[in-house]
C-alpha cells in the first residue's frame, strides 16, 4: 500500500534551496527594486538576470511546463510544494519564470502553437523578453464562454476582431494579448491598431477590440478551439494559485502567532486569551485542511488527468479563497490597528481575498460544479425512509439472525429487550 506524506530527500534539498534563495535574495530585491522584472533599466535587469541565472543553474526555470513541452516536468505535486514557497514572495514567481498570466499563455503556446508561433512568442516569453496578458472575461458575460460576443471574421489573409473584454490583468503593460473569441484563441500584439485599453480599472484592464486586424497565423490552435485551450490553461493554474494561497495564509499565520506572544492586554500576553487561542487553533486547522486538499488534488492530476480531478480542482478554488479571507481577517484583528495600515502585508492580503473568490470563475460556479459531480455518484433511496433509517436496518439485521434466535430463547429474549429499549430511545 502506497500512502505517504513525506518528500524524497533529493527533492527536499531543492525545496530548501528555493526557501533560502527566496528569503536571502528575492525578498531583498523586491523591497529595494520593486517591479524589477519588468524594468527597462539595464542595471536593474542585470540584477534580475543574475538571480534568474542561479534559478536556471538549479534546473528550476519554467517549472510549470511538462518535460515534453520543454520544462522540467516535475508534475503538479512537486509544483505545489514549490509554489508553497514561491507564493510567500510577490516577485518570486517572476524570478523563477512562473508568473501568471504568462504561465498559462506559455502552456497554451507550448501545447498548441506551431513551430513558427513558438519561435515568435514562446521563446521570448520564456526569456522574459516580452510579457503577455489573457483577455477572456467580458462585461456582459463574466467568465461564461457561452455568453461571449467577441468574434473574429476571416478577411483574406487576416482576421478582424471585434468585441469588448473586461479584467484583462496587466493588459496595459503586456506586449501580446491572448484574446478568447467565440471562434478561436488569437494572439494580438498590444500595439495593433484598434486595441483600445480603457483608463479604468488600472491593473485589471478593460479592453475594446475595434476592427483589430491580425494575420491569419495569429490563430492559436484550431478554429473554434478556444474552450479547449482555456481549460488546458486554467486547470493546473488553479492548483498553482491555491498553493500560493497556502503560502500567503501561512505567512499571515506566522504574523498572527508572533503577535500573540508579543503583545499584552488586560494584564497578560494576548496569546493567553481564549478568543486569540481560538483564532490560532481554527486557523491552524483550516490551513492544513486546505494544504492537504490541494496536494491531494495535485497528486490526483499526476496519477490521472486534470479532467479526472476537475471536482477536486473546483473545491480547491473556492476553499482557498475562503481560508485566505478567514485567516487574514483573524491575523489582522490580532495585529490590531497596525494590521489596517500598509506597514504590514496583512491589509493587502485580506483585501485580495474577494479577488481570489472571483478570478478564474466565481466561487459559486465552482460550488455548483462540485455539487453536481458529487451527486452523480448517489441515487435516491427507494420508498419513504432513507437508507440509514434505524428501525428498517434493525429489521433487516433480525432476518440475518432469525435462525439463531429461533433456536435460542435466551438470545431471542435478549434481542427483544434490546429492540424495545432502542425503540424507547434508551
Same domain, yes or no, for 240 and 214? no
Same domain, yes or no, for 266 and 394? no
- Mean pLDDT in residue range 385-395: 94
Closest CA to 256 of 282, 220, 223: 282
* Residue 121 within any structural domain of the chain: no
Residue 344 is predicted with a pLDDT of 97
Tens of pLDDT, residue by residue over 307-348, are 899 999 999 999 999 999 999 999 999 999 999 999 999 999
Residue 3 is predicted with a pLDDT of 81
Q: Above pLDDT 90, what percent of the chain?
A: 89
Q: What's the CATH code of the domain at 179?
A: 2.40.110.10
The reported pTM is 0.92
Residue 236 is predicted with a pLDDT of 66
Nearby residues of 325 by Cβ (< 8 Å), 6 or more positions away: 350, 353, 354, 357
* Residue 212 within any structural domain of the chain: yes
Q: Rounded to an integer, what distance in angstroms lies between the CA atom of residue 237 and that of residue 26?
A: 22
Residue 235 is predicted with a pLDDT of 66
| Res 92 pLDDT > 70 | yes
Residue 423 is predicted with a pLDDT of 84
Same domain, yes or no, for 56 and 96? yes
* Residue 126 within any structural domain of the chain: no
Tens of pLDDT, residue by residue over 42-75, are 999 999 999 999 999 999 999 888 887 777 889 9
Residue 226 is predicted with a pLDDT of 96
Q: What's the CATH code of the domain at 37?
A: 1.10.540.10
Tens of pLDDT, residue by residue over 167-200, are 999 999 999 999 999 999 999 999 999 999 999 9
Residue 231 is predicted with a pLDDT of 84
Tens of pLDDT, residue by residue over 367-384, are 999 999 999 999 999 999
| Res 426 pLDDT > 70 | no
| Res 23 pLDDT > 70 | yes
C-alpha gyration radius of the chain: 27
Same domain, yes or no, for 75 and 168? no
Residue 2 is predicted with a pLDDT of 75
Q: Rounded to an integer, what distance in angstroms lies between the CA atom of residue 79 and that of residue 71?
A: 12
Residue 239 is predicted with a pLDDT of 84
Q: Are 220 and 179 in contact (CB under 8 A)?
A: no
Burial of 260 (0-12, 13-18, 19+ CB in 10 A): buried
Same domain, yes or no, for 215 and 233? no
* Residue 122 within any structural domain of the chain: no
Q: Are 290 and 323 in contact (CB under 8 A)?
A: yes
* Residue 381 within any structural domain of the chain: no
Residue 213: which domain range? 132-220
Same domain, yes or no, for 69 and 197? no
Same domain, yes or no, for 216 and 145? yes
Same domain, yes or no, for 182 and 294? no
Q: Are 149 and 138 in contact (CB under 8 A)?
A: yes
CA distances from 238 to 83, 141, 175, 233, 314 (A): 12, 21, 24, 9, 8
Number of domains in the chain: 4
* Residue 59 within any structural domain of the chain: yes
| Res 359 pLDDT > 90 | no
| Res 106 pLDDT > 90 | yes
Same domain, yes or no, for 200 and 275? no
Q: What's the CATH code of the domain at 359?
A: 1.20.140.10
| Res 233 pLDDT > 90 | no
Q: Are 74 and 82 in contact (CB under 8 A)?
A: yes
Same domain, yes or no, for 182 and 99? no
Q: Return mean pLDDT, the chain.
A: 95
* Residue 124 within any structural domain of the chain: no
Q: Are 332 and 346 in contact (CB under 8 A)?
A: yes
Same domain, yes or no, for 365 and 234? yes
Q: Rounded to an integer, what distance in angstroms lies between the CA atom of residue 52 and that of residue 354?
A: 32
Closest CA to 299 of 59, 308, 369: 308
Same domain, yes or no, for 108 and 40? yes
Q: DSSP secondary structure string, 9-75?
A: HHHHHHHHHHHHHIIIIIHHHHHHSTTGGG---HHHHHHHHHHHHHHHHTT-TTTTS-GGGTS----
Amino acid at each position: 500500500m502506497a500512502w505517504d506524506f513525506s518528500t524524497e530527500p533529493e527533492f527536499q534539498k531543492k525545496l530548501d534551496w528555493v526557501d533560502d534563495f527566496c528569503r536571502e535574495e528575492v525578498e531583498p530585491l523586491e523591497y529595494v527594486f520593486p517591479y524589477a522584472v519588468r524594468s527597462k533599466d539595464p542595471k536593474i535587469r542585470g540584477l534580475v538576470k543574475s538571480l534568474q541565472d542561479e534559478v536556471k543553474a538549479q534546473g528550476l526555470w519554467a517549472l510549470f511546463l511538462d518535460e515534453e513541452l520543454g520544462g522540467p516536468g516535475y508534475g503538479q505535486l512537486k509544483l505545489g510544494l514549490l509554489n508553497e514557497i514561491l507564493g510567500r514572495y510577490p516577485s518570486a514567481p517572476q524570478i523563477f519564470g512562473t508568473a501568471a498570466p504568462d504561465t498559462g499563455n506559455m502552456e497554451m503556446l507550448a501545447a498548441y502553437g506551431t513551430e513558427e508561433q513558438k519561435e515568435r512568442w514562446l521563446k521570448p516569453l520564456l526569456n522574459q523578453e516580452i510579457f503577455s496578458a489573457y483577455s477572456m472575461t467580458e462585461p456582459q458575460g463574466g467568465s461564461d464562454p457561452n455568453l461571449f460576443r467577441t468574434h473574429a471574421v476571416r478577411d483574406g489573409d487576416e482576421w478582424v476582431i471585434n468585441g469588448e473584454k473586461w479584467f484583462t490583468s496587466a493588459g496595459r503593460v503586456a506586449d501580446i494579448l491572448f484574446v478568447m473569441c467565440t471562434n478561436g484563441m488569437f494572439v494580438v500584439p498590444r500595439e495593433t491598431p484598434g486595441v483600445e485599453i480603457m483608463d479604468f480599472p488600472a491593473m485589471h484592464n478593460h479592453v475594446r477590440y475595434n476592427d483589430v486586424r491580425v494575420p491569419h497565423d495569429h490563430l492559436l490552435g484550431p478554429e473554434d478551439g478556444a474552450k479547449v485551450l482555456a481549460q488546458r490553461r486554467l486547470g493546473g493554474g488553479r492548483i498553482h494559485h491555491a498553493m500560493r494561497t497556502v503560502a500567503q495564509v501561512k505567512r499571515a499565520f506566522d504574523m498572527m502567532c508572533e503577535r500573540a506572544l508579543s503583545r499584552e492586554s488586560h494584564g497578560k500576553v494576548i496569546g493567553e486569551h481564549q478568543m486569540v487561542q481560538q483564532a490560532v487553533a481554527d486557523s491552524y486547522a483550516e490551513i492544513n485542511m486546505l494544504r492537504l486538499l490541494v496536494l491531494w488534488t495535485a497528486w490526483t492530476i499526476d496519477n490521472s488527468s486534470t479532467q479526472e480531478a476537475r471536482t477536486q480542482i473546483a473545491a480547491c478554488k473556492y476553499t482557498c479563497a475562503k481560508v485566505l479571507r478567514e485567516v487574514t481577517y483573524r491575523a489582522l484583528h490580532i495585529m490590531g490597528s497596525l494590521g489596517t495600515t500598509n506597514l504590514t502585508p496583512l491589509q493587502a492580503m485580506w483585501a485580495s481575498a474577494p479577488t481570489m473568490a472571483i478570478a478564474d470563475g466565481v466561487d459559486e460556479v465552482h460550488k455548483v460544479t462540485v455539487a453536481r459531480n458529487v451527486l452523480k455518484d448517489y441515487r435516491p433511496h427507494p420508498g419513504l425512509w432513507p437508507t440509514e433509517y434505524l428501525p428498517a436496518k434493525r429489521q433487516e439485521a433480525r432476518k440475518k439472525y432469525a435462525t439463531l434466535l429461533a433456536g435460542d430463547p435466551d438470545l431471542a429474549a435478549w434481542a427483544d429487550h434490546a429492540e424495545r429499549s432502542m425503540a424507547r430511545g434508551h
